[in-house]
Amino acid sequence: MYLGTSNTLSTAVNPIAHTSDSWGAGTAQLGGQGSSPDNRIFNGSIDEVAVFNYAFTPAEVFSLFQAGSSVILNIEKVGTNLRVIWPEGTLLEAANVTGPWTTNVNASPYTFAPSEAKKFFRVKVQ
């Protein structure tokens, strides 16, 4: 079991032998164990679940964790201007939500006077 939070990956191992089941042979559970009153339930959210047919190395799990980390893009009003703040990556902008997207070469924080009716931003992280 791997748990990732705040750019840290924690692990736990259950050394008890388990039987293997094929998918579709019964009920699969993600985030829960057992059906008795004392069962164990994960009280949280599980996002973007994927099932693989092989075990990952810790490095592969950490790579997936880092790739899925979210970048928060903040936009705030400063007087009559707007300020866009992002912690990492390249700022992209477009006049339409479907693009075309162009690279904004400014660094964070980027402050500008809005001159269009609408402008969309996103951050590309590599």
CA nearest 92: which of 57, 124, 119? Answer: 124
The pLDDT tens digits of the residues spanning 59-81 come to 888 777 777 667 789 999 999 99
**Residue 63: phi, psi to the nearest 5?**
-65, -45
What is the distance between the alpha carbons of residues 48 and 55, in angstroms, rounded to a whole number?
18
Residue 2 confidence (pLDDT):
75
Residues of the chain above pLDDT 90, percent:
33
pLDDT band at 84 (very low <50, low <70, confident <90, very high): very high
CA nearest 122: which of 66, 81, 77, 104? Answer: 104
The pLDDT tens digits of the residues spanning 5-38 come to 766 778 888 888 877 767 666 666 666 666 666 6
Q: Read off the pTM.
A: 0.49
